[in-house]
Amino acid sequence: MKKFLATAVLVWTLQFAFAAEPETIAIVGAKAYITPGIEPTVNATIIIRGGRVEAAGSGLPIPAGAQVIHADGKIVTPGLMNSGTELGLVESGSDDTTDRAVSSGPIGAAFDVQYALNPNSTLFPLARADGLTRAVTLPSASAGAPFTGLGAVLRLSEGAEILDRPRAAMFAVTGGMAASQVRGSRSAQWILLRNALDETLRYVKLGPAERAEPGRNQLLNRMNLEALVPVVEGKVPLAITAFRESDIRQGIKLAEDYKLRVVICGADEGWRVADLLAAHKIPVVLNPFADIPATFDQIGARADNAALLARAGVVISFSVPGVHYSHNAGLVVREAAGIAVANGLTWNQALKAVTVNPAATWDISNHYGTLEPGRDADLVIWDGDPFEPVSAPEVVFVRGKRVSLQTRQIELQERYSPQHANDPWPPAYR
């Protein structure tokens, strides 16, 4: 046993030594979007040290001993960010691998997804291989509708440390399709939201002893009140899913009345209130594919929603509900950006919508979003235009570490590659 342990330690040490990143990495010859939103720097050098970008620009000297990666004129962007997924909370759709929601019991706004995250989910390597390095992962329902609970910002590092910001935002869902959860009327959603904020505002004024036993006529228990304290204090945003113009306006009013930070998610009819959203500095998370009157709340859905909102000055970012929501969280956010460009958003605005904009919306701008010195070195070297579905990343770094682009899907492809067509041994031996 001892011998085994000693060997194991030795092997582990060796592996660690081999796997250790070189201290300094220099990416050279890049067409680098150092600050998304402005024109790229051609023939740029990006120096990575200690997990961060140390320097980025043209004509930089390469530090002695640096490992050099030649970008050969290819596009380099910050790693991308998806503003709404269930990454880490879902695997196969099977209930035992699905931790997105609670349906009954005491947990309402206090539902917090951070404890369920599975860094070994097969969704992560694929998302990384598609150029995603940050994502919001969020709850879909709690026992305290319209609140769904607390979402987190993830960093898509390899290994266990994927939590970037727990409790990054409180989420709530409004609208006709969710009204049955509040017994029928969307008005009840807004009444319950306002009541919860009122109760929390009273709660924060209580002393510690009183807080232990909240008042009799409270709808919210202590756990749910505690979860809402940072919201009423303006420390974290309340992210409200709202599609219809009337609901978006209610969200804006809520932000005004309670001096909250509000993010509107969905916002298919957001273009109708673009100026108001901009004036209130309310960021919007939208789905650029949404151009169908899919429900009565979405009659005004149109393909240029992203372009119209951005033109009005709204900070937009993307999330694509449906089958690709989490399982293709990287590819779909790239396609979403491309679709938005095809419908009037500028390319530079689209890149912002998958980097600096979500960074600002979810409060991680101090370390992610650009390739400026001091930021975490999340970056991608692309083999083409990142928004084209035919393109793919060639090199991905998350927090200064080059990550593997191998996925379970690629392993399956290798097993069943046409080159094995005449192999008498079953794929299980490959």
Partner 1 sequence: MTGFSISRLCGVLSAVVVVLCARAALGQAAGSAAIPVNPYPSTYKPLPASDTFISGVTILDGLGNRVENGAILLQHGKIAAVGTSLQAPAGVVVIEGNGRWVTPGIIDVHSHLGDFAAPLTPADLKVSDVNEATDPNTAQVWALHSITVQDPQFSRVRAGGVTTLQILPGSRNLFGGRGVVLKNVPAVTVQAMEFPDARPSLKMACGENPKYTYGEMGRFPSSLMGNVAGYREAWVKAREYQRKWDAYNSKHDPSAEPPVRDLKLETLAAVLRGEILVDVHCYRADEMVIMIDVAREFGFRIAAFHHATEAYKIAGLLAQNGVCAAVWADWWGYKMEAYDAVRANAAFVDAAGGCVMLHSDIPMSGEHLTLDAATALGSGRRAGLTITEERAIEWLTRNPARSLGLDDRIGTLEAGKNADVVLWSGDPFSVYTKADMVFIDGAVVYDRHDATKHPQSDFEAGQPSLGVRP
| Cα distance between residue 135 and residue 122, in whole Å | 15
What residues from 176 to 195 belong to the interface with partner 1 (CB under 8 A)? 176-178, 180
Q: Min. distance of Cβ 272 from partner 1 in angstroms?
A: 5
Q: Is 287 in the site for partner 1 (CB under 8 A)?
A: yes
Q: Considering the complex, state which of residue 31 and residue 272 has its C-beta at the smaller distance from partner 1.
A: 272
Q: Is 197 in the site for partner 1 (CB under 8 A)?
A: no
Which one among 22, 50, 293, 313 touches partner 1, defined by CB under 8 A?
Answer: 293
Q: Is 419 in the site for partner 1 (CB under 8 A)?
A: yes
Which one among 243, 258, 382, 397 touches partner 1, defined by CB under 8 A?
Answer: 243
What six digits make up the tokens of 106? 């005491």
Which one among 140, 157, 189, 317 touches partner 1, defined by CB under 8 A?
Answer: 140
| Cα distance between residue 308 and residue 40, in whole Å | 24
Q: Strand 316-318: give its sheet, edge to edge.
A: 80-85, 132-137, 147-155, 163-173, 238-242, 262-266, 284-286, 316-318
Q: Is 342 in the site for partner 1 (CB under 8 A)?
A: yes
Q: Is 92 in the site for partner 1 (CB under 8 A)?
A: yes
| Cα distance between residue 81 and residue 318, in whole Å | 9
| Cα distance between residue 71 and residue 27, in whole Å | 7
Angle at 123 between CA 117 and CA 125, to 5 degrees: 105
Stretch that binds partner 1, among 28-36, 195-203, 286-294, 361-369 (CB under 8 A): 286-294
Helix/strand/coil for 286: strand
Q: Is 91 in the site for partner 1 (CB under 8 A)?
A: yes
Q: Alpha carbon 372 to chain centroid distance?
A: 20
Which one among 47, 109, 236, 331 touches partner 1, defined by CB under 8 A?
Answer: 331
Number of residues near partner 1 (by CB under 8 A): 78
Q: Is 139 in the site for partner 1 (CB under 8 A)?
A: yes
Which one among 42, 322, 366, 374 touches partner 1, defined by CB under 8 A?
Answer: 322
Contacts of 33 (CB under 8 A, 6+ apart): 40, 75, 76, 77, 78, 351, 371
Which one among 265, 282, 310, 333 touches partner 1, defined by CB under 8 A?
Answer: 265
Which residue intervals of 259-366 are DSSP H helices?
274-279, 305-312, 329-342, 347-353, 356-361
Stretch that binds partner 1, among 3-11, 53-61, 213-221, 271-279 (CB under 8 A): 271-279
Q: Are 140 and 322 in contact (CB under 8 A)?
A: no
Amino acid at 427: P
Q: Considering the complex, state which of residue 191 and residue 410 has its C-beta at the smaller distance from partner 1.
A: 410
Q: Is 86 in the site for partner 1 (CB under 8 A)?
A: yes
Which one among 56, 263, 320, 380 touches partner 1, defined by CB under 8 A?
Answer: 320
Residue 401's Cβ-count burial label (10 Å; 0-12, 13-18, 19+) is middle
Q: Considering the complex, state which of residue 147 and residue 203 has its C-beta at the smaller distance from partner 1.
A: 147
Q: Is 391 in the site for partner 1 (CB under 8 A)?
A: yes
Q: Min. distance of Cβ 116 from partner 1 in angstroms?
A: 15
What residues from 355 to 384 belong to the interface with partner 1 (CB under 8 A)? none
| Cα distance between residue 94 and residue 405, in whole Å | 26
